[in-house]
Amino acid sequence: MESAGTALPKVAREVKRLLSEGKREVAQRVAGGMAELLRLERLYGLTPVTAKPVRRKPAKKARLTQPRKTGRKSRKSELAKMQRETDWRLGCVERVVCAVFGVSRKRLPSRSQDAPVPAARMAFCCLARELVEGASKSEIMRYVDRDHATLGHYEREFSKRLEGQWFADAVKDCRKQLAQAFEEQR
């Protein structure tokens, strides 16, 4: 019994012989179909009529020069930079709020109603809306897995919650840490 490694060259030799005799249809049947025939032609560089190796053009060399500079950044790259900065700032707000309120980042978007989680969620949303320029309501609410309309409710309730000493101190600490983090980033 022949191994697959030795059978392929025999098939290729037979296809080459049939192609040289102009029997393309027979070569196709021997190869096992048109797709296999084309694969063998590419693999061994066979041409359908002469069975001579096909001359291939050398690959083009890569350009070694820098792309031409136009003098101004494209609008697309500016928008991408603004989006990265917005994402960074939202992530920063999320980390600081979770650290101050003692809530894991995993629990912030959860449906949990345990004591610090809803307060942390509200603080994150309102602080993000206040401190992160360019972040839409939908972007902010995606972090906490809520609808953008919930942000309106949070904003209305935020001022009432600030009357409580514990919540006010936590929000004040968050603002202080975020101002420092944003200043360091600049």
Whether 145 contacts 109, CB under 8 Å: yes
Q: Tens-digit pLDDT profile for the chain (186 aa)?
A: 444 445 556 777 777 777 667 666 666 666 677 667 666 666 666 655 444 555 555 555 545 444 555 555 567 777 788 888 888 888 899 999 999 999 998 898 888 888 889 999 999 999 999 998 888 888 888 888 888 888 889 989 998 888 889 999 999 999 999 999 888 876
Q: Is 128:154 a contact under the CB 8 Å cutoff?
A: no
Question: Taking the C-alpha atoms of 11, 15, 17 and 22 in order, what is their torsion angle to the nearest 10 degrees?
Answer: 160
CA distance 162 to 154: 12
pTM of the model: 0.57
In sequence order, what DSSP letters do the residues of 64-128 get, joined into one string? -SPPPP-SS--HHHHHHHHHHHHHHHHHHHHHHHHHHHT--TTTTTS---STHHHHHHHHHHHHH
| C-beta of residue 105 within 8 angstroms of C-beta of residue 117 | no
